[in-house]
Structure formats: structure tokens, C-alpha cells
Amino acid sequence: MRPTLGKVLAARRTWEIVARVWPAVSKLRATEENIESYLTRAPAAWAQRAEAAVDLAKSDRLLGKGLLTLGLLAMAGPAGADYSKHPRAQALYAALQSEHGFSAADIDSVRVALIDAQTIPSLIEAEQKAPERTETWTVYSAKRVDALRIRRGAQFIHDNRALLDRAETEYGVPGPVIAGVLGLETNFGRFTGNARVLDALATQGFDHPTRSKFFFEELEQYFVFCRDFGFPPTQPKGSYAGAMGWAQFMPSNYRRLAVDFDGDGRRDLWSAADAIGSIAHYFIDYKPELRWHRGEPLIVPAKLTRPLPGTIAVNTKNVGYTVAQLRSAGVEPSARLPANLAVGLIELQLDPGGTTDKEYWIGLPNFYSVMSYNPRVYYAMTVSRLASAMATEAAKLDPDTQ
């Protein structure tokens, strides 16, 4: 029996909504068991539209045999999903008990939180469409290395000079670099995120199409964080990825790397002092191979003396060449650097696009230390450029530092 026109249109509308909310949906496959499991915890309105689409696909192959996805069942707005009954919830409970010593009462509290958690597919869309993934350097930098942010950063450096100087003394990370991270992450604490961290990590940990393993582990760390820091799981708010505070630490990094820099007995990343110290500590202890090198710069401008060989990799996540090797490939740094210094090559795509519209820089080890905070070249380049510009402006506010 052919489906009715109404059923066809309902299924098509469902698919259109999901395609807008969940771009990776067409790349995924899901078994009927997955679908049935999801329907048992989906709100009735979702389930009705999803069942219509599933029925249509089975009877008419309109969506392609076997190409049913869990994304088909997700709508743009928040809705309760009762993640406490998700098939992977048992693994979460077991890990919290065996690895973190959660009691039966603690696990009951986790269950209550998972029942309360909201599914918000738009958080997945935001993570997948992060501007570092979608914009040219021209567009990205114009929005972030701007006059207002530079002025605010200069004032932040001026107002927090003592804390920033102490962080550099203890950890070696210059104050303007720390301020650059804070300026890019939260505009110096002005916007730390308005998504409940519980919702962000539950949605992405259980339902993200490609990165659920990472977010599921962070969800586990989040419940430990809430227990150890005394937060109800429904209280903290943060980014669409579940990052928290001025410094935007994920729960695992908050637990491991946050420091009490103002000595008040709490590691509070919603305070400027602890955020400053924690960012500096992060660059020292996050990954030994990407540890900050005291006293060294981040980037040096470069130019090509001839077309770049195809064998030279650009925009990697760590150093990969010596200065001498890049010179032999036609890459000339604008400043004198030791021939045996380990570096990387940064290539920035400029507007309006095209193979000749590119800008080149030499990335030194500290550039890749910043990339450990966010593994995007644009991110680390923005922090580098902000740090330089803000330091210059801050010096005008504090002549004693010149």
C-alpha cells in the first residue's frame, strides 16, 4: 500500500527539520533497535512524527532502505528524554561507582539529574558549526581581533597587573597571552555561557553523531565535579560544549588543572583570579609535549620565495620541521631564528579566496601550546594577535611597564 500524501509530507517535514539541526544525519546509519529504544523515551509529539517517517521509509523506501538515523528523531528545541534509561546509562553508573567511589545514594542523584536533563539538538549543531571550522581568517579575525576587544583587554591587563605578573613568575606564561585566552573565550568574563552544563553534556554525550565518546567521558567527569565542588548537577551553566567559567574548562580539566590563585580556599573559575592562574597552569601541565616554553614568542611572519612544495604540511597540531628545512622549501621567516629550532608552518586563507590569497607564519612551540587549549589554528592565531595588540595598548595605560 502506498503511503498517503499527508504521511509523505509529514515525513518530509521531519527530515527537513533534522537536516537543518543535525547536518551529519545523512552520513549515519541506525538500526531499528536504536530507533525503537529512542522512541521509548521520546516525547509523544516527537514519536508520532518519527514513527510516520520510519513507517514511510519501510513501506516506500523514500528515505533509502536502512538509512534511518537517530538524528531523524531529533527536533530543534529542548525536550525531556529521560537519559537515565538510555542503554549507555548503566555504563555511566558503573564507572562512577568503580572509578570514583559513588555510593548508591550518589547514583540515585545522578539518575534524578539524567531524568531532568533536556535534549537540545541545537547544541550539537553549534558544536559542529564552530566558526573555527567555517570562516576564513579574514572573517574570523575581523570579529575577534577588533578595537573594542583590544581596549577591553588592555584595561583587563592594567586592572589585573599584579595577578598576571604573578602567574608569569610562577608558570612562565605572559599576562597578555592569558588575557588573550580570556578575551576570546568569554570576552573577559562577560559571557560564560547560558546552557545548562548537564543538558549540553547529556545531549552530546548520548546523542552526538561523531564525538559522543569524548562528551560521554566529560559527562562522567561532570558528575564527579559536581559532587567534589558541591554543585547540584542542574545548576552550573556554560557553553554548548559543556565548558565552564571565565576560562571555559571542560569538567575533566576543571578537576585536574584549576587552581586557587586568590587563596580563598576554592577553585572558582567564575572568578578572574582563579581563571588567570588556572590558564597559566593549564599551559604548563595539560600535555608535557606541548608545555609552555618560558620567554619564547609564539609566531613569526613568513613569506614564500617560491611555490610551496606539496610535501610541506601546513596547519598541523605540533611542530614538524626545523627552520632550516622550511627555508630549503622556500619559506623565509621575517626574523632571525636558529636553524635547528623546531617549528611549524601556518597558512591562513584570506578573503576573497583562491590559491594566492594566503598568509604565512612560522609557528613556534608556544603557538602549539595555545592550540592545546583549542586545536584550531585560527584560535591560536587570534590569541597570539590579541596578546600582542593588548600588550601594546596596556603599556599606554601603565607607563611604568614601558
Cα dist. 326→149, 208, 312, 341 in Å?
Answer: 34, 39, 8, 11
Q: Cβ of 87: how many Cβ atoms within 10 Å?
A: 11
63 closest CA partner among 23, 24, 14: 14
Query: Of these residues, 185, 218, 220, 393, which one is catalytic?
Result: 185
124 closest CA partner among 163, 75, 84: 75
Are 397 and 156 spatial neighbours (Cβ–Cβ below 8 Å)? no
Catalytic residue list contains 185:
yes
| 3-state SS assignment for residue 289 | helix
Q: Where are the alpha helices (DSSP H) in 268-322?
A: 272-285
Phi, psi of 346 (to 5 degrees): -105, 130
300 closest CA partner among 281, 263, 327, 329: 327
C-alpha cell at 243: 565548558
Active site residues per annotation: 185
